[in-house]
Structure 1
Amino acid sequence: MTKATAIIVGASSQLSREIAKQLAQQEVELALFAQDVDMLKEFAATLPTKVQVFELTIEDPQTLIRQLEEVWQQLGGAHLVLVNTGLNSYDPELPWLPEQDIIDVNVRGFAAICNTAFRLFRDQGYGQLAAINSIAGLRGGPSVAYHASKAFAQNYFEGLSMHAQRLKLPITITDIQLGLLDKAAMQKSALWLAPLPEVAAQIINAMQKGKRRVYVTKRWRLVAWLTLMLPEFIYNTRHWKPKKTKKVND
């Protein structure tokens, strides 16, 4: 490979697109995996570098593994694999099917991607595996399967990092702990929200520096620390409520 090549798995989200855009501006060649290939092709055509788009079948790990291996061969390898996949939902009745979908995508699919990428990097002799996870994995939460799946992802990455070190493999593992941006948006909190380009820039900067774990944006490190420190009887009674819109009297 003469130029840097990155594979983004789960490239259809707005954050993934912004990361792809900024990497393309740095002349990184891209391979983008998404379930809606046609829609992503329109976006890929706007980028100033070589971009290929591939179908993502994350609900079927065996097919997914084969897809990654085939694309890897087509590219002749890659320097970076960034994983940004995940489902989330909340229903106070806790029906099983949504929980199963979250586990299938966030646990089985995620592990299949990361296991395959690690193996391909091992055979190649180097590389970086990064994933956009969430501080939701630090403790349990009302979106039961989602919080648990993010805890799995965090621990899976720690295990891969230990494995690389013990085998003396030059493989960098970067766990990107994203803040609870959806909840901050619900609260209309200017303090905890950040423009998408800034979020993407911090993620790319952390990957380029080879960080093991990073909180994005940086201020969410404080929330992560408080989350771990809160006793259970306080943690379990927290509520995120949207700010009320002030009425303007005529």
Structure 2
Amino acid sequence: MPRPRWSTVWITGASRGIGEALALELARRGCTVAISARSVEDLERLAQTVRSGPLPGRLQPYPLDVTDSDACEAAFRRIEAELGPIDLCILNAGSHQPVELDDFSPLPFESLLRLNVLGVVNGVAAVLPVWRRRRCGQLAIVASVAGYRGLPTATAYGASKAALINFAEALRLDLEGSGIVLNLINPGFVRTPLTDRNPFPMPFLLEPDDAARRILRGLERGGFEIAFPRRFVIWLKLLRLLPYRLYFPLVRRITRP
């Protein structure tokens, strides 16, 4: 097997869905992967699947609540002390909560913005000082195509992902000349416990292992945005150009259950 591109990788939100699939795919490639999430049991279950199987890599659990900035910094220091310098950090932790008009309140907005946005900011703040001194490192931020334009019941989730897209674009400009590579990952619909909550049909639905392979191919290529599936992304980016008088009725018709 060829030597993996990355030696040590840190993934947040690694216990399920895309994060779990990424951890397993990197272990197949021989990487040592620090896996973080809030659930100790889920992390141990995932790590055990690699310990007891034929995969050449290693998964090491580091339980973490990414909304705690001090805990993120401590986790980064501990991982580097125990596993070695982190080459790639994938900030994937996030959640989704549909917001219906009948139950509209600030609570899901506070929760999702704290986790989806500030959780990423805390991860960036943990790695950035060390990586700037080293002038190296690859940072991947997982947002979503849901951040391109408004979608039904996604007032909280879409707003958080739109904020991440803007954050990553601005950070990419600030990082020029630093030696740090920044990637923005915008997946389409991927079958996970989170997307199972969507009350509307999801076109071009992908399985997590397929999404993981697409993400890693994109990370290896090194372009800024990794967005997929391609046909869906092109369609959504064209929708961004439509005036509202055309956009709203079209999306309503497409997403109506």
TM-score (ref. length: structure 1) = 0.86
Aligned to 1:39: 42
Match of 2:209, SS state, is: helix
* 1:193 and 2:193 aligned: no
Aligned to 1:122: 132
TM-superposed CA distance for 1:71, in Å, is 2.3
Contact kept, 8 Å, 2:117 with 2:163, in 1: the verdict is yes
Match of 2:62, SS state, is: strand
In the alignment of these two chains, the number of paired residues is 237
Cα distance in 2 for residues equivalent to 1:149 and 1:85: 12
Contact kept, 8 Å, 1:177 with 1:216, in 2: the verdict is yes
Q: How does 1:72-151 map to 2 (within 5 A)?
A: 72-89=80-97, 90-92=99-101, 93-141=103-151, 142-151=153-162
Match of 1:130, SS state, is: strand
**Is there any run of 5+ residues in structure 1 with no aligned partner, and where?**
243-250
Cα distance in 2 for residues equivalent to 1:185 and 1:84: 23
Aligned to 2:173: 162
Cα distance in 2 for residues equivalent to 1:116 and 1:64: 6
TM-superposed CA distance for 1:144, in Å, is 1.7
Structure 1 residues 78-87 or 38-47, which shifts more? 38-47
- The aligned amino acid for 2:96 is N
Cα distance in 2 for residues equivalent to 1:227 and 1:119: 38
Contact kept, 8 Å, 2:22 with 2:212, in 1: the verdict is yes
Residue of 72, 76, 87 corresponding to 1:68: 76
Contact kept, 8 Å, 2:73 with 2:127, in 1: the verdict is no
Cα distance in 1 for residues equivalent to 2:202 and 2:174: 41
Contact kept, 8 Å, 1:136 with 1:180, in 2: the verdict is no
Contact kept, 8 Å, 2:11 with 2:33, in 1: the verdict is yes
1:174-219 deviation per Cα after TM superposition (whole angstroms, max 9, x unaligned): 1011114448995264xx1233322211100000111210212222
Contact kept, 8 Å, 1:79 with 1:128, in 2: the verdict is yes
Contact kept, 8 Å, 1:10 with 1:56, in 2: the verdict is no
1:147-185 deviation per Cα after TM superposition (whole angstroms, max 9, x unaligned): 1211111111112211121xx122111101111444899
- The aligned amino acid for 2:201 is Q
Identity value in percent: 25
TM-superposed CA distance for 1:66, in Å, is 2.6
Aligned to 1:52: 60
Cα distance in 2 for residues equivalent to 1:34 and 1:154: 22
TM-superposed CA distance for 1:29, in Å, is 0.8
Cα distance in 1 for residues equivalent to 2:67 and 2:166: 21
* 1:223 and 2:231 aligned: no
Aligned to 2:246: 234
